[in-house]
Amino acid sequence: MGGEKLRLAVLASGSGTNLQAILDAAASPAYPATVALVLSDKLGCGALERATAAGVDTEVVTWEDHGGDRAAFTRTIVEVLDKYDVELIALAGFMRILSADLFEAYPNRVLNTHPSLLPAFRGAHAVEDALAAGVKIAGVTIHVVVPEVDAGPIIAQEAVDVRPGDDTGSLHERIKAVEHDLFPKVIEDWARGRYEVRDGRVNESEGS
Ligand code: GRF
């Protein structure tokens, strides 16, 4: 396919296994997106190391440098994203809530992976909460980010069976394995123009 690749920024705070899956997918010449930037709020985190190893530009914007002012923190992030001419933003384990400034600057252009079948188990402890509730089926949701946390239009979901004896670690590992497939695929389909957000829902076009 010809044409330019979609410029993607990945925001991550942790070990960066989802980032790695995106970097691996983007290494294929046929993949329609390129990782233009990896931004983190955590100096020295695994995600930054993975980005550097892949030769991708990195930026760090810390919460502490902004004195806990969410709007100021978000505005600095928007300035950085603007600088890199980013067209799509993937939150891949980014553990800070961002203010509406991001969604005003990039409406319907921020995607997130969440380790539950939303709207069940929003928040930072989704896997733990699902296990505590005794669910038999957990899963993954990829959604468009809106100001309300873990509440945006759902793009794709996949179920993960809970096994007897699962703990948070073992279940989260299997959930992550699914995220590693699903998130790069959704980004690919997004870059190919297969999704449309309308009236708070994501519609998928048929065909190739
Ligand atoms: C993922 O399960 C993501 O859904 C959640 O945090 C985890 C990040 O893992 N918000 P990693 O840093 O990509 O390994």
Exposed, middle or buried by CB within 10 Å (0-12, 13-18, 19+), for 157? middle
Provide the pLDDT for residue 1: 47
**Torsion sign across C-alpha atoms 83, 105, 87, 142:** positive
C-alpha 51 to ligand 1 mean position (Å): 16
Instruction: Please state the atom number of ligand 1 nearest to the C-alpha of residue 47.
Output: 12
| Beta carbon of 112 within 6 Å of any ligand 1 atom | no
Provide the pLDDT for residue 205: 85
C-alpha 207 to ligand 1 mean position (Å): 31
C-beta contacts of 51-56 below 8 A and 24+ residues apart: 51/10, 51/16, 51/19, 51/23, 54/23, 54/27, 56/23
pLDDT by position in tens, the chain (length 208):
456 999 999 999 999 999 999 999 999 999 999 999 999 999 999 999 999 999 999 999 999 999 999 999 999 999 999 999 999 999 999 999 999 999 999 999 999 999 999 999 999 999 999 999 999 999 999 999 998 999 999 999 999 999 999 999 999 999 999 999 999 999 999 999 999 999 999 999 865 5
C-alpha 18 to ligand 1 mean position (Å): 6
In angstroms, the CA 102 to CA 79 distance is: 10
Nearest CA to ligand 1 atom 9: 93
Residue labelled with tokens 């921020």:
110
> Helix 17-26 and helix 46-53: axis angle, to 10°?
20
Give, as one character, the DSSP assignment of residue 99. P
Nearest CA to ligand 1 atom 3: 93
